[in-house]
Structure 1
Amino acid sequence: MTQHLTVVDHPLVQHKLTLMRDKGTSTAGFRRLLREISQLLAYEVTRELPLTTQNIETPLQEMEAPVLAGKKLALISILRAGNGLLDGVLELIPSARVGFVGLYRDEETLEPVQYYFKVPESLEDRLVIAVDPMLATGNSSVAAIDLLKNAGATNIRFLCLLAAPEGVARMKEAHPDVPIVTAAVDKQLNEKGYIVPGLGDAGDRMFGTQ
């Protein structure tokens, strides 16, 4: 991927995102929609995976058929809300290795605080896809990418459901080599650092803790 920001404007993605924005959507409905939309977004973020071939036999003849090349890719969930995207992407790529970065946002400073980090080995040999539904201030996302690079990752992509212009700019400044794939870039952040119009707190809506 060469461009820094890709907005997936597929009609199914946009339709499901609208349902997720609606405050009347239930926790179960939100969770289901997040899993569905994550699979659609996964098609875009994995579009340029390297391929090789292997010899197989169809019911009619032998052929050289395309298969994914190299080490299994790594999916990194930025806890806790990242798990909602992770589940859907894993259904599409069940062989992927999985890691977790635990960060929470200090509500006073809006800065990220790390509490957990566990990732697969050999990140330098893998495509690493970090997932988090919201790219708001960008502080947590930048901190997560910092940790992944420190762990050896060199080929990283960031997958989110919604982004704010401030978060996109922050990521581009800190990590211009990390492409972002999202379903929408909203208007702005409010004074509390939430994306507007947004969809509220993705973690709370996913887990019913609002």
Structure 2
Amino acid sequence: MVKAALRGLCAAVLAILPLAITPPVHAAETLPLAEAVERLPLGTESRDGYSRDKFRHWNAGDDPADGCNTRAEVLIDEAVEMPAVGPGCRLTDGRWWSYYDATWVTAASGLDIDHMVPLAEAWDSGASAWTAQRREKYANDQGAPESLVAVTARSNRSKADQDPAQWLPPAAEAHCRYTAEWVGTKLRWDLAADNAELDALAAVTLDCEHQTVTYEPAE
């Protein structure tokens, strides 16, 4: 009887052991935009020591075997009409929608891949304390579709490294989506926001009553 009890105890321990050693899974969460803005931590931003070279990009992408770097993989993923992929991952034909300025684009060379939260802004907001490996992961993040966005070169360069207190997309109908994706990216990477940024985000939410934010914390 004692042996039977011990066997039962061992079986119970073995049954729960995988749960004890399995790391927790960060589940995606969906929030109203206004509530998501309130979750952003307030911080004082500093650009001291920043260089784009501290964020290695574009790397070999999610599938190094395909010969395409992160930029090309994002272009392929976001194409409305799929481009032809030639040697060296050269993209021809295809069609893309640049939602920042409500513009159709039919040449990959006319597109930039925008970091939703620019590298300089990420540095200011907390990435300065990250390892080089984490900054590379951020700069090539394909784990959330809003992290990297294919848009016209002119809209991306107009935005540069500005936050929503300084720049919003020229297409007014894009403001709710853009703000939600900005906030979701900051929450995903646990990046802070300064007072002016928080005020600007809160102002946009007034016209975005039904907008939600979905994000999953980055590993």
Larger strand percent: 1
Task: Select the structure with the greater relative contact order (CA < 8 A; seq sep ≥ 6).
Answer: 2
Q: Normalised by the size of structure 1, how large is the TM-score? A: 0.27
Q: Normalised by the size of structure 2, how large is the TM-score? A: 0.27
Larger helix percent: 2
